[in-house]
Amino acid sequence: MIELVGKMGPHDMGGDEAGPIDTVDHGMSHWEKHANAVRMTVSGKKLATLDEMRRACEDMGARYYELSYFERLTEALVIVLKEKNYFTEAKFNNKMIDVRERFDVPIIALPEAHDHDGKPIQEDETGEGPNEHQVMNLSIQDLLEENNLITANDIRKTIEKFDQDYPNRGQKVVVRAWTDEQFKSQLLEDANLAIEGMGIDLEHAARLIVVENTDTVHNIIVCTLCSCYPRVLMGQPPTWYKSRSYRSRVVNDPRSVLSEFGINLPDSIFVRTHDSNADMRYMVLPKRPEGTENWSHSKLESIISRDALVGVSIPNIEDYNRETDG
């Protein structure tokens, strides 16, 4: 049994003991992308807020630890939508039955050599149909569509934004700051205003604070409570950012966390951890590498990774050389 002392709930992991971090981003499965799109669409239309979903997660108790990130958020969304009378328990259960029957088809065994050129097959290619939490998300979508609250096109557009639009915006902001001192000053003073001045729609996102790496300070960001993250600038947070190990350890031992990502800073550099929350997000402004003074904007963007904007990576010229040599 887990005892919570001085904690806000099972979601509050900052400072907990935890093991090594799996620093590889394993990406998102098909059903997780759909689950994220349903959640963000519902939130965007103000049918349920992220705070309400977070509260539902916090009330799960020990079950919180039994579920993966998107499983947890899926169950929380169902709880909130029922509470707000968008559908009843009976309607939701009946819809779950309908969705399961929709995928009730004979399973055809795949040949052993069927490996998609060494790539893992998607869960919907196995012939086994959707998992239980995917059925839940499809049921949520169907019920809200039937009440004309969302559309299938809303879900599709949200998936496309996260896949295509959001991931590269942060790099453009950094390059502008590296090449325009006036913009950089405004960015550090009021990031939302500066970024929207670039023509980037932050879509009513929470307040954003940009923190600058210098010769004496290195910044790293986390969300110890869940996974708050500037998605409209950086896309989906990597899997390690949402992990218990990262969220627990980075607040009280950031240097060892950085070392697991291959960064070993001298003691003369102070490492500062910034904890995001529902009302405020952070993004790191990395130091511009020496020797890039005459580089084009596109060339500069090529050495700025998402991880550098979190603070677990440092841009360097070798990144570009490796990319071009490869």
Cα(200)–Cα(204) distance, integer angstroms: 11
Cβ–Cβ contacts within 10 Å for residue 314, how many?
21
In the numeric block, the tokens 């950086």 are attached to 234
Q: What is the dihedral of CA 282, 40, 205, 240, to 10 degrees?
A: 0
Instruction: Choose the catalytic residue: 29, 43, 68, 226.
Output: 226
State the catalytic residue, choosing from 139, 228, 243, 245: 228
57 in active site: no
Q: Which of 223, 243, 276, 313 is catalytic?
A: 223
Q: Is 227 a catalytic residue?
A: yes
CA–CA dist 289, 310 (Å, integer): 17
Q: Rounded distance, CA 324 to CA 326, Å? A: 5
Written as six digits, the tokens of 5 are 């002392």
Q: Residue 252 carries which side chain, given as an amino acid letter?
A: N
d(CA 32, CA 113): 27
Are 202 and 142 in contact, with CB atoms under 8 Å apart?
no
Length of the chain counted residue by residue? 326
Q: In this structure, which amino acid lies at residue 163?
A: D
Annotated catalytic residue 228: yes
Q: Which of 139, 227, 243, 276 is catalytic?
A: 227
Going from the C-alpha of 241 to that of each of 25, 164, 198, 225, 269, the distances in angstroms are 9, 20, 27, 11, 23
Residues identified as active-site: 223, 226-228
